[in-house]
Structures are given as C-alpha cells and as structure tokens.
Structure 1
Amino acid sequence: MATVMAATAAERAVLEEEFRWLLHDEVHAVLKQLQDILKEASLRFTLPGSGTEGPAKQENFILGSCGTDQVKGVLTLQGDALSQAIQDARNHVSQAIYLLTSRDESYQFKTGAEVLKLMDAVMLQLTRARNRLTTPATLTLPEIAASGLTRMFAPALPSDLLVNVYINLNKLCLTVYQLHALQPNSTKNFRPAGGAVLHSPGAMLDPLTAHSEWGSQRLEVSHVHKVECVIPWLNDALVYFTVSLQLCQQLKDKISVFSSYWSYRPF
C-alpha cells in the first residue's frame, strides 16, 4: 500500500509540474501564435480607400453562373458598397486580438479555468466573424428593393430588375431578379415572399412597400439569374479562422486532460 501511495504521489507531482509548464509557457506560446495569425487575417479585411491615401480603389470582379457559361459579367465596385459584412467580420477579429493581447507575456495564468474562459471568448468572436461571411442575410424582396443596390448601378438598370449583392463564404454573389406585373384580373393567390437568401421564380412583392416605379401593380419574379466569383483574400481569411479555432480547441483539450487525473478540479 505504501508503495502504491508513493507511486501515486510521484505521478501527481509530475503531472502538477507539467500543468504548471502548460500554464506558464505553452499557453503564452499559443496566444502569440494566435495573435500572429489573426493579425494576418485582419489585414485581409482592410478596405480599399479606408485610409487617407486618396480616392477609393475600384475592384473588378469577373462573374459567372454556376455550372454553365450562359451568364457572365464584370462587376466593378468602388467605395464601400459591400463594406458592412467585411467590416463586421473585421470587428470580430479585432475583438479577438484585443482579448489575446490583454494578457502579455508577463501575465501568469493561475488556473486552467482562466485559460478556458479566455479561449471560449476568443472562439466566440472568431465564430461570429466566420458566420458573418458564411451565412448571408435573408432578405425579403421589398428589403432588397429598399437596400439601394439596384440604384447604384451605372448605367441605371431597367426598372423591372432587382439586384442583390452579397458575400457567401469566399465568393462575391450577384443575383438579378426580373419582375413582371400581375394583371388585375389574375387569379393567382397573391402571397408576398418572406425572407430568403435566394428567391425563386414565382415569388411576389407588393410595389407599395418598395418598388414605386411599377405604380400600384403587384409584381412577380419571372426569372432569376445568379453569378459569382471567388475572392482569394476571403478564402485566406476563412482558412485563418479555421486554423485559429483549431488552436484554441487544442489548448482547451490539453487543459481539460488534466482534470481526469484528479477527483476534484484543481483548475
């Protein structure tokens, strides 16, 4: 019995020493690695013309439809037409960096729970940043019409078109909805479309809510065209988010392993 107790005490002493090294050394090494990765990610979200260096830089995107060559086009963006999704993602990255840098190398973590709490907070910001790019907003047709995107095109688009432009994963997507007016004697049951990322032909909207060019006529989507293109720097950002989340989870797993060696939770 004495031998078993001695072995257990020796094993416990080794584990406690390893845990202290984890808290004092490896945690800070991981925090530094995360900071470096997220600073690179943050650079990907620097908006053209966001500083004082002069006029906003314009970007050209060659768009094509999925699986077919029937629809192609070139979209030129200038200024901050799509800045909201990018800015939101960048704000979450900045918040994650702030959390990481709030504990400099001289800071001593006293418990594993403290590390787990920090990792959870960082992972929350990274998940929100990633979701901002991977989960496009669902909009009703009147909301798309009221967004002003259709009116931003030069030359102006025909009044029977609605346009939505959004980010999805690493792609810039542009959807064009062609509308036609329902005849007053139409027997169709008019049901305004709800929110969606992509509306289908047959979706309806009431012009009184958004599309005044059509007067009082009710409208239906007759055709839908979607084109998209890959934006390389968005792909880079998503990779950085994935790697960072993996590092956070690996550190959490290492901290949690030590809890299996004690009946109580010393961290």
Structure 2
Amino acid sequence: NSINHQFHRLARDRSLPVQTMDCIIKKIPLMLETPHFASIAPTQISTSIAEVAAVFRQLYKLSKKMADSEKEEAANLQMEFEWVLHEEVHAVLGQLHTILLECVRRFPVPLCGNDSPLKQDKFVLTVPPEQLKCIVTLTGDCISHADITFKVQRQQNVTHRTSIQNDNPWKLQQVQDAGNHLQQAILHIENIDKDYIFKSSEEVLHVLGCILGCLQRGRSSLIVPRKRTIDDLMKSRNMKSLAPCLPEDLAISFYIQSHKLIFAVYQLSNVHGTMKFDTHQAECSIPWLNEVLVLFTVALQLCQQLKDKICVFSQYKDFSIGSRSQSALSW
C-alpha cells in the first residue's frame, strides 16, 4: 500500500480504443513494464494479470454493447429519414397545395387559371365627426368607385370632395403582389411529380425554401405596406384617378394593412423652409383579407414544421437514400 504507483504512460492513455481483445492483450505487457509491476513478486504478478484481464474483458463487453446500441439507433434514424423523404414530404406538400388552393378561392381576382368573375364589395370608411368619409367599391384588386369627402386640420371650414370613377380605378398593388407570390408557391408544389423520390435532405430543403419564400413575401405584401414618400404619393399614377384633382398641398392614399383597408389624407405645409405633413386616416375590415391571411399563416407553419424536421436529419451527414443495404420502406 505504501508503493508509489507510477504507471507507464500507455497504461494511462484512455484515448486508445478498447474494441477488440487483441488490443487489450497488447496493452497488458506495456502495463507490466511499469515500476509498480516490476516491484511485485511473480505470484502476485500472475494474480494482477488475471485481475487486469478480467477488467478489460468487462470493458470490452460494455464497449461492444454500446457500439451495437449506437448502430441500432443509427439504423432506426435512417429508416425514419427514408420514410420522411418518401412519404411525409409528399403528404405535407399535398396538404399545402390544398390550403393554397383554398386561399386562391378567397382572393377577389382570378388566379391559377381560375376564370371566376371579379368579386365586388362596398365599404364605408369614416372618422367622426365628418372629418373623413369615404364610400368605396372594391372590384378585384382595384377601387373601382369611391365618393370621398374630408376636412383638414388647418381648414376646418372647408370640405374637400373628390371621387374615383369606373373608367379610371385606383389600383391596389398589394393584392396583385400577394396573388402573384401565392401562384408562385403553388407552381413550386405542382412542379414536383407525385411519384418523385427525394434523395437527400438538401433537395427537400431547397424546395421548402422556395415555397416558404413565396409564402412569406405574399403574406408580407398584405401585412406590411410598402413605404412611400409624400413626393411619390403626389406623383403616383393613382392620384390621377381622382376627379376633380386635389389642391397641390393635399394627397390621399389607399392601402392594405393586415385585414384592413386604410384611407389616408396628407396635408403638406412649409414650416421655416422644411416640408412637413399632417396625416388623418380611416379604416375598415375586409373579411376576405382576414381569411387569406389565416390560410397564409397555416401554410407557413406547416411548411416550417417540415423544414425543421428535415433540418434535424440534415445534421447527420451520412444519411442519404441507399446508405443502408435494405430500404426502410421494405421493413
């Protein structure tokens, strides 16, 4: 017990793999060269060898058991990976296609070859007490008619009146943009044959990335209106739809934000050489917009969930179709 245990450096090397009995046997003589074993009697050495060998046998059995367990886990993951590529990806794409076609039916304009007539709705946007009032008719992605009256802060005794007529409608570009992105997402899905076999996670992630991009852009088109300067508004083509024209210090705009149509009035003023403007707005809820946004959101969540699952498998670089001798689909 008083002996100072000075083991050979290889006897302390835990990084050497303990995978076979040959490896273990080769290590034992190296251990016997240590000062510790050299100072022990022969009979004691024999006993020590037997004890060391028994320990190594146990370690070998444990190592083999762990290796077998890891192989089984890898095989199960490979089976699940192949099932996801062959079955779940197509199932989710089918669900996405159904959801997006339902979204198409909610749009007020024909999409994806649908020749249904343009939907027409009438809405009233007001801010009491008679500060702003606008009665609009929405036809497809345009305001086909509007009767507009409003007062501005600096001229409360003056009521401005203008209108939009059928022959020169106000274009709601956001609706057209959202519809275009929706159609593009559907085309990405329809371009994949139902019998096509995906061969890697990267291939699936590329497809899902394209679909997600279209859905995100389409949804954002309706939720986040494009920022425009007052100068852009004044010079926009839509301002030419107004009859009669407004004074040079006034501008209006119609835009969509989430499920609402917003009507805004801008009054420009020059304060000490700096151009400033005051804004007043009225809004109303558009039912079909709310339905479209819900379907966009559901499709995005479904697509993102599948992408997250595929990303987990993509961390295993050895996973690909045919990496096992027997297909998981035959089990």
TM-score range, shorter chain: 0.7 to 0.9
Residue pair 1:149, 1:163 contacting (<8 A) in 2 also = no
Instruction: Please tell me whether residue 64 in structure 1 is matched to residue 126 in structure 2.
Output: yes
2:296 is matched with which residue?
241
Distance in 1, matches of 2:95 and 2:65, equals 43
Instruction: Please tell me whether residue 170 in structure 1 is matched to residue 259 in structure 2.
Output: yes
Two-structure CA RMSD over aligned residues (Å): 2.8
Displacement, 1:2? 2.4
Equivalent residue runs for 1:1-267 within 5 Å: 1-47=63-109, 58-65=120-127, 71-76=132-137, 77-78=143-144, 81-153=170-242, 156=244, 158-159=246-247, 161-179=250-268, 188-192=271-275, 203=276, 221=277, 223-259=278-314, 262=316, 264-266=317-319
Aligned-pair identity in percent equals 40
Question: Could you tell me which amino acid in structure 2 is paired with residue 227 of structure 1?
Answer: A
Question: Could you tell me which amino acid in structure 1 is paired with residue 291 of structure 2?
Answer: D
Question: Could you tell me which amino acid in structure 1 is paired with residue 202 of structure 2?
Answer: A
TM-score (norm 2): 0.61
**TM-aligned CA distance change 1:72 to 1:87, over 3 Å:** same
Residue pair 2:182, 2:215 contacting (<8 A) in 1 also = yes
Residue pair 1:47, 1:83 contacting (<8 A) in 2 also = no
Distance in 1, matches of 2:91 and 2:284, equals 37
User: Secondary structure of 2:170's match?
Assistant: coil
**TM-aligned CA distance change 1:170 to 1:68, over 3 Å:** farther
User: Secondary structure of 1:162's match?
Assistant: strand
Distance in 2, matches of 1:68 and 1:266, equals 67
Gaps of 5+ in 1: 183-187, 193-202, 204-220
User: Secondary structure of 1:139's match?
Assistant: coil
User: Secondary structure of 2:303's match?
Assistant: helix
TM-score (norm 1): 0.74
Aligned residues: 227
2:28 is matched with which residue?
none
Distance in 2, matches of 1:74 and 1:191, equals 34
Distance in 2, matches of 1:69 and 1:165, equals 18
Distance in 2, matches of 1:228 and 1:31, equals 37
Displacement, 1:4? 2.1
Displacement, 1:102? 1.1
Structure number with higher strand proportion: 2
